[in-house]
Structure 1
Amino acid sequence: MTTYIDFRSDTVTRPTPEMLNAMTAAQLGDDVYGDDPTVNAFEQKMAELSGFEAAMIVSSGTQSNLCALLSHCQRGEEYIVGQHYHTYLYEAGGAAALGGIVPQPIPVSADGSLAADAIKAVIKPNDQHFAMSKLISLENTHHGKVIPVEYFKAIRDLANEHQLSVHLDGARVFNALTELNIDLKQLCHYVDSISVCFSKGLGTPMGSVLCGSEAFISKARRWRKMLGGGMRQAGIIAAAMDYALDNHVAQLKNDHKRCQELSSKLQGINGVTVTACDTNMLYFKLADSFNPALVAQLLKAEGILISAGDEIRLVCHRDISDADVVYFAQSLEDILTIMSQVTAE
């Protein structure tokens, strides 16, 4: 099997031998019965880290967010969300399709946040003609951009003023915390629930955690079961997540550093314009004379995977090395140079 240098996403990371050892050594039980000691210990650990009363392991970030939305809102009620946020755009419309929850999407600001005035403008009055606004759904990071604690404090005040709850899709929240140099509890203080994904930069093969109050998590467990998410010997997953929490969080800064190095190298290549570089994500555009799909095909022939598009996203993760960054930049430059020469002829 060909081994590629894969910049498509941090979801492509694979468990390390040490993580696999932790998984096979885990004490197991039936989690639906509440009998898995590794799950129970890890959920308690995540509750304490986040400052919430309880936590629940689920198979994926999509399931975690869906359980959260279904627990916060009833049928015909509304959640306010960014039109490019994951809970609206990339989760197959689950909240609407399965829960009858009405999404109210609004534009995402350049910094990845939702403007407070834009949120306030769509909060519905208590009128029988409208869906009832119940929840604000946020993201951190968004497209790699880090949203500071001060923003969440302001949104908390707005939510309190209008009796709304706040959910945070924290799929890459540890990337945000790495840049903000704060702990999880400091951010969670301003939200009612958070979903944390471990299968991206933290490198587990699967798994997310939903954190919130005891009553909220109790309701979410019922939704998890209904969604087919009740797992049995889930301690295998919990052990991987626990290992990642203890060993991989501190290494995220290396991904961020490599992303900046990659940006620096790409800025020196003719025909490449870097449009954004935050945490572990870099976005760039090619000059109009280059076909992104062809460039991606030629890079694949050199052992490199990217996702082609008008704007190309590169994601640095724990399976990308310093040498991979150098090799990618040189390969891209060589390919664009050859393509330019062919076009000139």
Structure 2
Amino acid sequence: MSALNSHDSGAGIALPVDLRSDTVTRPTEQMYEVMRTAPIGDDGLDFDPSVRMLEEGVATLLGKEEGLFVPSCTMANLLAVLAQTGRGEQVVLESSAHMYTSERGAATFTGLFYLGVPGLRGEMDLNHTEESLKGGKHKLHTGVLAMETSHNNSGGAVPGLAHMQAVYRLAEAQGVPVHLDGARLFNAAVALGVSAQAVAQHADTVSVCLSKGLSAPVGAVLVGPSAMMHQARRLRRMLGGTQRQAGIMAAAGLYGVQNMVSRLSEDHQRAQHLSRLINQLGLPISASQPQTNIVQIDIAQTGLDSNAWANNLESLGLLVRPWGKDRLRCVTHRHIGDEDIERAVACFKQGVRLVAG
């Protein structure tokens, strides 16, 4: 049973099934306990012991030299770009990557240029990528290349390790560092059946989010070579990302990394179950085939746009996110149980009836 969605609110009314994102997850009771008892210091002065344990633990887990705890994965990605580029250089990414569509803050703040290359389900076209990396008299120098796994805008698709290795080698041949936006890296590793380090080895710097499927309340970790991380730590202070008794939150993140990864496969299985049930309805909506915990619902044939659909579903007790004009995004997580999947499917069925009028 769901920890948050299937139980009654106390007034005899069931809470909505919340499939908007895995960012809605709450800490476990064990997390609350480690937060309460975490040794803490001042991370802006002489470091915080719990923060250091998290940074060292994640760096070791991903096979990198050093880690840096930051408030969000957006900041981690920004620091990775800022620490490895110079003003007027370009950042090469797949054209639908989250860093390209939603996180171009570095361009605003520093005068960097973001160049999107064609791709499919998060995998960059290798010919376009190679051409984009080549320098020349009339071309911008590439400061960093960024990949993403799992790939948010492609419905949680997971680029293959062979593809990641090929991209890494193209960048390496041009002397360009590679950053991996691994907000859901652990989901990707679970989907591939490999260790997180096996994924992270195809990048120089890697960011991971702690507050999605791992259920920590806040935070992310950026890992990479020590020299680069020293620069990132300096930049973190300039961006206002240095925190004081941050060990309270870091302890929850470390617990998540150590204890919550193994259960991510449950979220993937429920996403697959949701997809199957929706596609079995025989209605003018269709669900993607998820590799991880994200399901995209195509509602183009219903004649109603995604915002109207989201509003209708909310009135029926289901929360989803509009994803473009003709798609809805559903994300499974720790608080979604089998009963919640059944309720969600029933809401979609009722939603189609509302559209039919």
Tell me if TM exceeds 0.5: yes
Q: CA deviation at 1:289?
A: 3.4
2:4: which partner in 1? none
2:341: which partner in 1? 325
State the identity as a percent: 35
The 5 A counterparts of 1:178-217 are 178-217=190-229
Say if 2:146 is the partner of 1:137: yes
- Count of aligned residue pairs for this structure pair: 338
Q: CA deviation at 1:106?
A: 1.4
- Residues 293-334 of structure 1: CA deviation (Å, up to 9, x unaligned): 333223212321112341111111111111000011012212
Answer with 211-220 or 143-152: which moved more: 143-152
Contact 1:124 1:131 survives alignment (8 Å): no
Contact 1:194 1:212 survives alignment (8 Å): yes
Contact 1:276 1:284 survives alignment (8 Å): no
2:117: which partner in 1? 106
The 5 A counterparts of 1:1-345 are 3-91=15-103, 93-109=104-120, 111-127=121-137, 129-143=138-152, 144-269=156-281, 270-286=283-299, 287-308=301-322, 309-340=325-356, 342=357
Gaps of 5+ in 1: none
Gaps of 5+ in 2: 1-8
- Residues 5-58 of structure 1: CA deviation (Å, up to 9, x unaligned): 111111111112221121111110011124311111111111111111100000
- Residues 226-251 of structure 1: CA deviation (Å, up to 9, x unaligned): 10001111101110111111221111
Aligned-partner Cα distance in 2 for 1:266–1:25: 44
- Residues 174-220 of structure 1: CA deviation (Å, up to 9, x unaligned): 00000111112222222110000111111111100000011010000
Answer with 241-250 or 286-295: which moved more: 286-295
Aligned-partner Cα distance in 1 for 2:309–2:202: 44
Judged with a 3 Å threshold, the aligned counterparts in structure 2 of structure 1 residues 289 and 153 are, in CA distance, closer, same or farther, namely closer
Aligned-partner Cα distance in 2 for 1:87–1:338: 36
Could you say what secondary structure the match of 1:312 adopts? strand
Answer with 284-293 or 132-141: which moved more: 284-293
Contact 1:171 1:195 survives alignment (8 Å): yes
Aligned-partner Cα distance in 2 for 1:274–1:303: 19
Contact 1:5 1:304 survives alignment (8 Å): yes
Aligned-partner Cα distance in 2 for 1:80–1:26: 40
Specify the code of the residue in structure 2 equivalent to 1:301.
S
Specify the code of the residue in structure 1 equivalent to 2:143.
K
Aligned-partner Cα distance in 2 for 1:296–1:87: 25
Contact 1:80 1:106 survives alignment (8 Å): yes
Contact 2:268 2:290 survives alignment (8 Å): no
RMSD: 1.6
Judged with a 3 Å threshold, the aligned counterparts in structure 2 of structure 1 residues 266 and 158 are, in CA distance, closer, same or farther, namely same
Contact 1:169 1:194 survives alignment (8 Å): yes
Could you say what secondary structure the match of 2:290 adopts? strand
Could you say what secondary structure the match of 1:277 adopts? coil
Specify the code of the residue in structure 2 equivalent to 1:200.
K
Aligned-partner Cα distance in 1 for 2:192–2:119: 21
Q: CA deviation at 1:147?
A: 1.2
Contact 2:309 2:351 survives alignment (8 Å): yes
Aligned-partner Cα distance in 2 for 1:185–1:295: 40
- Residues 66-96 of structure 1: CA deviation (Å, up to 9, x unaligned): 00000010111111012221212111x2111
Contact 2:17 2:340 survives alignment (8 Å): yes
- TM-score of the superposition, structure 1-length normalised? 0.94
Could you say what secondary structure the match of 2:90 adopts? strand
Aligned-partner Cα distance in 2 for 1:290–1:177: 36
Contact 1:168 1:193 survives alignment (8 Å): yes
Contact 2:210 2:219 survives alignment (8 Å): yes
Q: CA deviation at 1:222?
A: 0.8
Could you say what secondary structure the match of 2:124 adopts? coil
Q: CA deviation at 1:276?
A: 4.1
Contact 2:26 2:216 survives alignment (8 Å): yes
Specify the code of the residue in structure 1 equivalent to 2:162.
E
Contact 2:19 2:319 survives alignment (8 Å): yes
Q: CA deviation at 1:291?
A: 4.7
Q: CA deviation at 1:134?
A: 2.3
